[in-house]
Amino acid sequence: MKRLLVLLYGVVSYAVFFATFLYAIGFVGNLLVPRSIDSPALVPLGQALLVDLGLLAVFAVQHSVMARPAFKRWLTRFIPEAAERSTYTLVSSLALIALFALWQPMGGVIWHVENPIGTGVLYGLFAFGWALVLISTFLINHFDLFGLRQVWLYFLGRPYTSLRFNTPGPYRWVRHPLYVGWLFAFWATPTMTVAHLVFALLTTAYILVAIQLEERDLIKAHPEYSGYRQRVPMLIPGLRRRAARARAAVH
């Protein structure tokens, strides 16, 4: 019974995540949701800014703290180890749901593209970003990343085996294609409002910090990651090669 309950918990956590992921596309892209990131302002600018900064801070702290190995060891004193990743997935989704529900638009337009070709290009880059995020998760094992593999193995009574270090597809060009996808998704928009700009700036800053924390853990878990880090650029394909060519030209 315990194994079945853990499996059901993992399935429900994943379902909440996937629904949240789909809603996030509508929220950022102003598509089919009651209140999006660029909706008309409802409260004064200062109040809206404080609320939104608080929501983004809660998500950033939760996302980073719960991902650290020390927190995972503490959490698994109270829940089955197989449910740890599902718990992280669920709590992250709930933090995002709170952000969607409480987000305060700010009005004000930073840029607005009316040209049909420009609008189409930006929406294409927006879609590319979300697709890259999803594809990147499948390349490194989507079901392990969001906890389903762990609860399924636990249900079957099989021990969990860690995934070996691998660099499929875009991971050969940049170390973090998933984060590259997020950047496209957050910045590629024909209409950039003040609230959207705040969101894009702070999530970009968070991504840059999160990469440092994540890579520190990856080096400990996978010694070969250090060499990979030296060979492959973080976010911009070909950056290391261009820098090397520039240094060679100078000498």
Whether pLDDT at 12 is above 50: yes
Whether pLDDT at 177 is above 90: yes
Mean pLDDT value across the chain: 90
Range of the domain at 148: 2-250
Residues 202-208: what's their mean pLDDT?
Answer: 94
Q: Of 32-36, 50-54, 106-110, give the range with the top mean pLDDT.
A: 50-54
**pTM score, two decimals?**
0.86
Tens of pLDDT, residue by residue over 32-43, are: 898 899 988 888
Q: In 3D, which of 92, 93, 91, 88 has the Cα closest to residue 69?
A: 88
Residues 29-54: what's their mean pLDDT?
Answer: 90
CA distance 251 to 247: 6
Query: What 3 state SS string does the chain have?
Result: CHHHHHHHHHHHHHHHHHHHHHHHHHHHHCCCCCCCCCCCCCCCHHHHHHHHHHHHHHHHHHHHHCCCHHHHHHHCCCCCHHHHHHHHHHHHHHHHHHHHHHCCCCCCEEEECCCHHHHHHHHHHHHHHHHHHHHHHHHCCHHHHCCHHHHHHHHHCCCCCCCCCCCCHHHHCCCCHHHHHHHHHHHCCCEEEHHHHHHHHHHHHHHHHHHHHHHHHHHHHCCCHHHHHHHCCCCCCCHHHHHHHHHHHHC
Per the structure, the count of domains in the chain is 1
Lowest mean pLDDT among 28-42, 174-188, 192-206: 28-42
